Amino acid sequence: MSRTLLAYRVMATVVGVLLVVLCLVGVPLANFDGSPMWGVFDSTPAWVSTGSTAQEVGEAITTYLGVAHGWLYMIFLFCAFLLSRRARWDLPFTLVTLVCGTVPVLSFWAEHRATQRARAEHPELA
């Protein structure tokens, strides 16, 4: 089970970092040019100018990192589910662990919580 825990921790960290970069760097650079966003917001903060290098970097981050994050998140879900079955976690704990992987920064807390529980319930992992 130690390999399963390691795989989960690696994937949780990678996916968490990518999500933070995507949401806190890529999306603002790509979209915060004062124009409406996604048909939901009338206007966004004008942090970057349309067509600037910063906006192009933001577009590249959201395009390429977004796709990579999506694929890697599927691997994360598999690793987390596999760990939950091997550690015999109950369904609510498993679901919270999986859903927290979708929230920037909160994913790191979920990984820490899951690792602590796995090590507490399975002393051979410590």
pLDDT at res. 28: 87
* pLDDT tens track for 37-65: 777 777 777 777 777 888 888 889 999 99
> How far is Cα of residue 46 from the mean position of the Cα atoms in its chain?
26
Mapping DSSP to helix (H, G, I), strand (E, B) and coil, where does residue 1 land? coil
Mean pLDDT for the stretch of residues 115-124 = 90
Q: Which two tokens stand for residue 62?
A: 């959201």
Angle in degrees, 0-180, between the axes of helices 66-87 and 106-121, rounded to the nearest 10: 20
Q: Within 10 Å of residue 40's Cβ, how many Cβ atoms?
A: 6
Of 76, 74, 72, whose CA–CA distance to 9 is shortest? 76
Whether 68 shows a pLDDT value over 80: the answer reads: yes
Parse the chain into domains and list their residue ranges. 1-125
What is the spatial distance between Cα 71 and Cα 18, in angstroms, rounded to a whole number?
Answer: 11
Confidence grade of residue 90 (pLDDT, cut at 50, 70, 90): very high
Q: Is the pLDDT of residue 4 over 90?
A: yes
Q: With 90 as the cut, is the pLDDT of residue 9 above it? A: yes
Residue 30 has pLDDT above 90, yes or no: no
- Residue 25: how many other CB atoms lie within 10 Å: 15
